[in-house]
Amino acid sequence: MAIAVNRKSCDSCGDCVKECPFAAIAMEDGYPIINAACKVCGICVKKCGKDALIIIDAARESVDKDAWRGILIYGEMSGEKLHPVARELMGKALELAGKVGCEVYAVVMGSDTGEAARELLAYGAGKVFTYEHEVFRYFKADVFAAAFSDAIDHIKPSVVLTGATSVGRSLAPRVSTRCRTGLTADCTALDITDETDLVQIRPAFGGNIMAQIITPRSRPQFATVRYKVMDEAPLTEPRGEIVPMPVTGSMINSGIEVVSVERKPPSENISEAEILVVGGKGLKTQADLEMVKALAAKLKGQYAVTRPLVEAGWAPQSRQIGLSGRTVKPKLLLTFGVSGAVQFTAAMRDSECIFAVNSDANAPIMNIAHYGVVGNLYEILPGLLEA
């Protein structure tokens, strides 16, 4: 793809030069010239009032969309249980399927898939395809990709959704490559058109823009979805069926050998926390972060931070909320010295109750907070700790 200039429509205003975030446009002889720095983000096309800039694409072979129907989700297992992200994928899949009138399927791989498969039926899956074998007890990228690809060949879904977990991020690229199609990773929102084209929305360029991606000439359409950004599907009366799939010798032929398995010690995960206390760049010193931690402990919650504090070395990246960190949806979230940049708010705005303390009444965080206190955090935070 590339950006082309229609000189007959161009009025030489130069606005496209100002709008381009990559300095990829310059004016020569009164007309814009696109250089190699262009990322084809389309911002200049949207901003041009004269429609003088257009995105051009080489002709591609069209796909028979009627041959690809339905939405398939990957029912990832954590041990012998279904990973919670699968319930969120089911919720979004059912919503999308309702818009275009198609079926929702799920695929599960494991050494004992019965409980996970029944749970997926209870969350609304029409059919759950299971691959059960001892080789699926532990994650092996090659055998899981082979089984996943086999399910896609059998079902021919229009859309394939996988959780953006460590397993999903390893599996989805391998399977999409086998299917000779693209993949949009770490989506934070999804929609679908009447033509069953999946609208995949994700942060791009460090979270500075939200990109909308569609693949109208390719099927299936692959996307990995961030954990904790979608609503879980509600429980229903199971009406679907479990379809056991044959596990072939070529499918389980792996180049990976599991030598030993060692369980990670339990650790706190801010994505799972019901109460979070967040410190931002309004904190003056690293020692001040101890007040945030203390309040989190008194509330029986966890502490978290914004990106500047991670970059300063005050907290590990696992404690960061944001598009480049974790997405959270707690029952209660308190922020101190957090301005509320879009990269942060996009990852926490669905919290049930947001309580913000900031000295600036016009800080962006105040626009989404349920309760906002304008004041000095060094007076309010110690007061809350004492109370």
The answer to whether 301 and 276 have CB atoms below 8 angstroms apart is yes
278: CB partners within 8 A, 6+ apart: 292, 303, 304, 305, 306, 321, 333, 334, 335, 336, 338, 348
The last residue of a domain, from among 226, 252, 278: 252
* Greatest Cα pair distance in the chain: 70
Split into its structural domains, the chain has a count of 3
Q: Does residue 90 sit in the same domain as residue 210? A: yes
Is 257 domain-assigned? no
Residue 335 is part of a domain; what is its CATH number? Answer: 3.40.50.1220
Residue 247 is part of a domain; what is its CATH number? Answer: 3.40.50.620
Chain centroid, CA 281 distance in Å: 25
Q: Does residue 227 sit in the same domain as residue 375? A: no
Q: Does residue 23 sit in the same domain as residue 78? A: no
Q: Does residue 283 sit in the same domain as residue 333? A: yes
The answer to whether 307 and 343 have CB atoms below 8 angstroms apart is yes
Is 259 domain-assigned? no
Separation of alpha carbons 356 and 123, rounded Å? 35
pLDDT of residue 58: 58
Q: What are phi and psi of 29, to 5 degrees?
A: 55, 35
Beta-carbon count within 10 A of 118 CB: 13
pLDDT of residue 267: 77
Q: Which residues of 215-226 are buried (b: 16+ CB within 10 A; e: fewer)?
A: beebbbbbbbbb
Q: Closest Cα to residue 73, out of 97, 42, 44?
A: 97
Q: Does residue 296 sit in the same domain as residue 359? A: yes
Q: Does residue 289 sit in the same domain as residue 357? A: yes
Is 209 domain-assigned? yes
Is 217 domain-assigned? yes
The last residue of a domain, from among 252, 287, 309: 252
The answer to whether 337 and 292 have CB atoms below 8 angstroms apart is no
Residues in the chain: 387
Is 261 domain-assigned? no
pLDDT of residue 333: 98
Structural domain including 375 reads 270-386
Is 263 domain-assigned? no
Per residue, the 3-state secondary structure of 288-357, as one string, reads HHHHHHHHHHHCCCEEEECHHHHHCCCCCHHHEECCCCECCCCCEEEEECCCCCHHHHCCCCCCCCEEEE
Q: Does residue 306 sit in the same domain as residue 324? A: yes
Q: Does residue 226 sit in the same domain as residue 278? A: no
Is 265 domain-assigned? no
Q: Does residue 274 sit in the same domain as residue 239? A: no
Q: Does residue 147 sit in the same domain as residue 199? A: yes
pLDDT of residue 207: 66
Q: State the residue for tokens 């004269």.
A: 50
Q: Does residue 84 sit in the same domain as residue 200? A: yes
Indicate whether this model's pTM tops 0.75: yes
The last residue of a domain, from among 185, 218, 252: 252
Chain centroid, CA 240 distance in Å: 28
Residue 9 is part of a domain; what is its CATH number? Answer: 3.30.70.20
Separation of alpha carbons 306 and 329, rounded Å? 15
- Show pLDDT as tens, one digit a residue, over the chain (387 residues): 789 999 999 999 999 999 998 888 999 989 999 987 888 888 999 999 899 999 887 555 678 999 999 999 999 998 889 999 999 999 999 999 999 999 999 999 999 999 999 999 999 999 999 999 999 999 999 999 999 999 999 999 999 999 999 999 999 999 999 998 999 999 999 999 999 999 999 888 766 778 899 999 899 999 999 998 899 999 999 999 999 999 999 898 898 899 998 888 877 899 999 999 999 999 999 999 999 999 999 999 999 999 999 999 999 999 999 988 899 999 999 999 999 998 899 899 999 999 999 999 999 999 999 999 999 999 999 999 999
